[in-house]
Amino acid sequence: MRCGKIVCVGQNYRAHIKELKSEVPQEPVLFLKPSTALIGDGDTIVVPPNLGRVDYEVELAVIIDKKCKQVSAAEALSYVGSVAVFNDVTARDVQSVARKAGLPWSLAKGMDTFAPMSSTLQISQVSDLQDLHLELKLNGEVRQNGNTSMMIFPVEEIISYASRFMTLEPGDIIATGTPEGVGAIKDGDLIEAKIDGVGKMRNPVKVMS
C-alpha cells in the first residue's frame, strides 16, 4: 500500500509535555509529515548540516485501510488495518524557534528520513492498543520507556477528531505521540525502537557536515 499523508499528534503524554515545558492541550494537536519523510527498518536517518539539536521520539503508529470521514470514536478502529513502531524525528531547535514565533512546525518535522517506521502488523494481532509498552534505546541504552495507557487522547479519539476535518484514506499513517525521555541524536548513533507485541526497528544516524 502506498504511504499517504502522515498525521501526527503532538503532546499526547503528560510527562513529555512537562519535559518540553508545554501545556496540556484541550484537543489533540495535529500536524503533518510529508510521505517523503518515510523510511524503513535499517534505513539511515540523514540529518542536514547545521540544524542544531535533533531528537528521536518513539511512537505507536496506526495505518488506515478504509477511507473515513467524520467517524465516531466507537467506530474509529474499524478503519485501521495495521500498526507499527514509528519515530517522529524532530529538529528540536528549528521547532523551538518556530514555536516561539507562533510559526508552523512543518520544516522541523518534515525533512527527508524524519519518519522511520517498522514493518506493520495486522491490528487483529494486537489485544489492546492502549496497553502497549514502548521502548527506545540510543546506542544500547534505554532512553524512552512508556506505555500507550498514558496517552491523553487514545487512538480512537485521535482518528475520530482528525476525521472531522480531513478525510483519512488507505495508506495514511497516524502517529500517536511520544512518552517522556526524548533526547538528541548525533552522527554515528544507533536508534533501536520497539513496541512489545508490535515490532521493532533499528536506524543508524548520519549527520551531514
Site of interaction with Mg ion (CB under 5 A):
57, 88, 178
Nearer to Mg ion, 148 or 178 (CB): 178
Residue number of the CB atom closest to Mg ion: 88
Question: Cα 119 from chain centroid?
Answer: 14
94 contact partners, CB below 8 Å, separation of at least 6: 51, 52, 107, 108
Nearer to Mg ion, 160 or 178 (CB): 178
* Antiparallel, parallel or unpaired: β 45-47 and 55-56: unpaired
Nearer to Mg ion, 58 or 129 (CB): 58
Nearer to Mg ion, 78 or 99 (CB): 99
CA distances from 145 to 55, 92, 102, 139, 157 (A): 15, 20, 31, 15, 23
Are 64 and 174 in contact by the 8 Å Cβ rule? The answer is yes
> Shortest Cβ distance from residue 89 to Mg ion (Å)?
9
> Shortest Cβ distance from residue 141 to Mg ion (Å)?
21
Task: Residue 18: name the closest of 179, 184, 206 by CA.
Answer: 179
Nearer to Mg ion, 52 or 188 (CB): 52
> Shortest Cβ distance from residue 178 to Mg ion (Å)?
5
Distance CA 138, CA 142 (A): 6
> Shortest Cβ distance from residue 34 to Mg ion (Å)?
15
> Shortest Cβ distance from residue 9 to Mg ion (Å)?
7
Residue 122, number of CB atoms within 10 A of its CB = 11
